[in-house]
Amino acid sequence: MNDYIIIILLMSIVTLVPRILPFFISEKLTSNSFLKRFFKYIPYSILGMLIIPDIFYSTGNVVSGIIGFITAFILSFLKMNSIIVIFFTVLIVYLIQ
């Protein structure tokens, strides 16, 4: 029983260190403007990395996925409202299918 408690304590320390460590070193990182810009764009790049591959295969037809992606990209680039982008993208992909 004692071994299990030691294992659980060590595992909790190992998982806690990477979560707490950035708070201690973040003061040093915020002075670098390159790192500020780098960390600013990470959420967008990760979201794109997770979503974009599924866009092409979501309809079962790669061509309609590409046309839907291009439609959404153009409407977003024109700074349209998100609801309008989603509506017209779904409409165009539906008409193509």
Owning domain of residue 68 = 2-96
Torsion of CA 66, 68, 72, 75, to 10 degrees: 110
For residue 10, what pLDDT is reported?
93
pLDDT tier at 23, thresholds 50, 70, 90? confident
For residue 33, what pLDDT is reported?
78
Averaged pLDDT, 71-75: 93
Q: How far is CA 1 from the centre of its chain?
A: 42
For residue 70, what pLDDT is reported?
93
Q: What number of other Cβ atoms are within 10 A of residue 61's Cβ? A: 15
Q: Count the domains in the chain.
A: 1
> What pTM was estimated for this model as a whole?
0.55
For residue 52, what pLDDT is reported?
83
Please provide the average confidence, as pLDDT, over all residues in the chain: 85
